[in-house]
Amino acid sequence: MALVFRTVAQLAGVSLSLLGWVLSCLTNYLPHWKNLNLDLNEMENWTMGLWQTCVTQEEVGMQCKDFDSFLALPAELRVSRILMFLSNGLGFLGLLVSGFGLDCLRIGEGQRDLKRRLLILGGVLSWASGITALVPVSWVAHKTVQEFWDENVPDFVPRWEFGEALFLGWFAGLSLLLGGCLLNCAACSSHALLASGHHAVAQMQDHHQLETRNTNLKN
């Protein structure tokens, strides 16, 4: 039963980490962190991401323009770019490391302790990737709420609202965190099985030595 749980936890952890990493990469590049609908022109919709601003018009379609300067961006967008790149890199390393720690992989089959450590490291990297994905998404969402309810801005001025990429980023971060938890649970289960196996071998050796002594005494 413990072996089945360990196998399922490993596969589920890697699958969730992979899903979270793919979604975090999409969140990084999608220009839908913020949405702006103009009351004066309902046919026009503005969206903003970390890298560009886009406008969607019914007749023309979507047109996007990259930001000209990194330093001219608001602080939350500058930091979000760095953290999202860091999240993508840590998530990829976590997948790579934890992949080598899977029991179904024949490489290093005799080195159980090494595989357990690789799973733990992969889980920690997935945690770090999830946190560095949740921080920028939550920060941008917080700034959006602050600006939306800013009393100093006149009511007739359009306000930015949450874009689809924010929800995608939250789901990505939670998937990475849950995947890291499952990988570490699998590693702890592997350690428990390894310890019980060593204990069983030690008991068999002690029992064999005791029988040998008794046989010698009888002779």
List, for residues 62-109, the tens digit of each pLDDT value.
899 999 999 999 999 999 999 999 999 999 999 999 988 888 777 666
Assess if residue 208 is contained within a domain: no
Q: How far is CA 184 from the centre of its chain?
A: 14
Q: How far is CA 75 from the centre of its chain?
A: 23
Assess if residue 201 is contained within a domain: no
Assess if residue 65 is contained within a domain: no
CATH code for position 125? 1.20.140.150
What confidence score (pLDDT) does residue 56 get? 87
Assess if residue 60 is contained within a domain: no
Percent of the chain with pLDDT over 70: 81
Domain count, the chain: 1
Cβ neighbourhood burial of 59 (10 Å; 0-12, 13-18, 19+): exposed
Assess if residue 141 is contained within a domain: yes
What confidence score (pLDDT) does residue 194 get? 43
Least confident of 142-151, 176-185, 186-195: 186-195
Residue 195 pLDDT level (bands cut at 50, 70, 90) = very low
CA-based torsion, 134, 96, 26, 20: positive or negative? negative
Cβ neighbourhood burial of 34 (10 Å; 0-12, 13-18, 19+): buried
Assess if residue 174 is contained within a domain: yes
- Which residue carries 């720690």 as its tokens? 101
What confidence score (pLDDT) does residue 192 get? 47
Q: How far is CA 92 from the centre of its chain?
A: 9
What confidence score (pLDDT) does residue 176 get? 97
Assess if residue 211 is contained within a domain: no
Least confident of 77-81, 128-132, 184-188, 202-206: 202-206
Assess if residue 2 is contained within a domain: yes
Cβ neighbourhood burial of 16 (10 Å; 0-12, 13-18, 19+): buried
Task: Confirm if 119 and 73 have CB atoms less than 8 A apart.
Answer: no
What residues make up the domain containing 8? Answer: 1-33+74-189
What confidence score (pLDDT) does residue 190 get? 58
